Structure formats: C-alpha cells, structure tokens
Structure 1
C-alpha cells in the first residue's frame, strides 16, 4: 500500500509535505503566536482549510448529481485556538452560495456539507460554526 504523503522537517519550525500520488507540495510554518513566522499555513490552519474544502467538495459531488452549478462558490474559514491545552477550539466557515438555489437544494447541499468526512472526523469538542449566505 502506498503512503498518502511524505514529510520533511526543514528546520526553523517549517515542514514540507508531499502528496505521494501527485507530487504536490505543501509548506507549513508555525504561527506567529507559537514561535513561528507565520509565512505559510500552520498545521492547524490546514485542518481548518481542509474542513472548508471537504465541505465544498461534498457539496460539489451532490450538486453534480442533481445538475446544480456551484461554480464560483466561495468560502472563508476562521480558526479559533484554545490556550490550555493548545488546540483548535472552533472553526467558523461561511459559504457564499448562489441565491438562485431552490429551498430543497439548499437543504440538500447544507446537509451534505455538514456530513463531509473531515467534519465527521474532527473531535466533537471542536465547534463547527457553518453559515450559508445566499446572494
């Protein structure tokens, strides 16, 4: 079985992770509030961004199945850290959705987002505040 990714500690609180199948590289840096320079995603930033990306991907799968166009949908993610122990306490995600979506399609997509694999994998103590704005 092939591994999903490989990693390298490059020093100064930075890592490089390489996606095995594609060769795509992700750099991480410790955040400024935790001894780093904040010049790249921190590992906890990646977790938060992964939640938004996963929700969007699952909505995209459901949208394709129902012939709905979600091209251009945007999302923003805000991570809130707890101090003791240092961990992600909450992730706020806002999706900017097309106003033209029917009520039944909105419900379908919102339910799909909330049941994405990352959302279901995060510890239950991590609050997930998800907002859908239809504009």
Structure 2
C-alpha cells in the first residue's frame, strides 16, 4: 500500500532546495552553509535537524503540559549546532537552551525535563550526536 509522502523537495540550483509539506502546502527553503560552499541565506539541512530537535522538545513538553494544566505559552528554545571537525561531515553536537516560566513548580519542572529528553526527534538521532539540554526558568 502506497502512502502519500510527508514532503517533497526540488533542487533550485546554487546549492538551494525548496521543500513542500504535502499536507499543508507550507514551503521552506534550504541553502548550503557558508562553510560548505553555500551562501547561508536559509536553513541548511543540518540546521533543520537542530530546529527539529528544539521544536520537538517544546511540542512534546506542551502536549504533556496540557494534560497537567501547566501553562507553557511563551516558552522559547535556542539551538546551537556544532559540526564535526573530522570527515565525514556530520552534526557532532546540539546544544538546546529552553527558557521556561519561573512559576513552574518543582514537580512540574521534573516532569517536563524528563519529557524533554524523550521527544521523538531526540530518540531518533544517532547516539553519537551529543545532545545537551539546558533548562532556564525565568
């Protein structure tokens, strides 16, 4: 049984692609990074991996937060990607900094921090990619 693709992408030239989310029609563009022959004018494919991790953590935490009547609206995430220095070129580390409400109770913090480490993207990444997740309550 064939299922519809999640996304399609087309090479646009000059190391750029345009990807379309099939269900919604949302379009994103990628560009090779400056340190790999590109212009760095859009997300690189590896930037999207880091972004996927950060947004997956926030989304998964929000799903659990809704179940427990915990408000996370306005929480943010910053992701820093570090590429390997040796061949083959790959993501070596992803640092994820989450800014969450200071008003969260100790038990809510414990719950959400556990959930953050078990989001589907975090569990799908190769174990050699170091994932450093930091929680800041402000």
TM-score range, shorter chain: over 0.9
What is the TM-score with the length of structure 1 in the denominator?
Answer: 0.99
Contiguous gaps of at least 5 residues in structure 2: none
Alignment of 1:49-64 (within 5 A): 49-64=51-66
Output one character per residue of 1:73-110: Cα deviation in whole Å (capped at 9) or x when no partner: 01100000003211000000000111110111001001
SS at match of 1:96: strand
Alpha-carbon RMSD: 0.5
Contiguous gaps of at least 5 residues in structure 1: none
Is 2:68 the partner of 1:66? yes
Count of matched residue pairs: 135
Q: Which residue of structure 2 lines up, in the alignment, with residue 32 of structure 1?
A: 34
What is the TM-score with the length of structure 2 in the denominator?
Answer: 0.97
Whole-angstrom distance in 2 between the partners of 1:75 and 1:7: 27
Q: Which residue of structure 2 lines up, in the alignment, with residue 95 of structure 1?
A: 98
Structure 1 residue ranges, 4+ long, deviating more than 3 angstroms after superposition: none
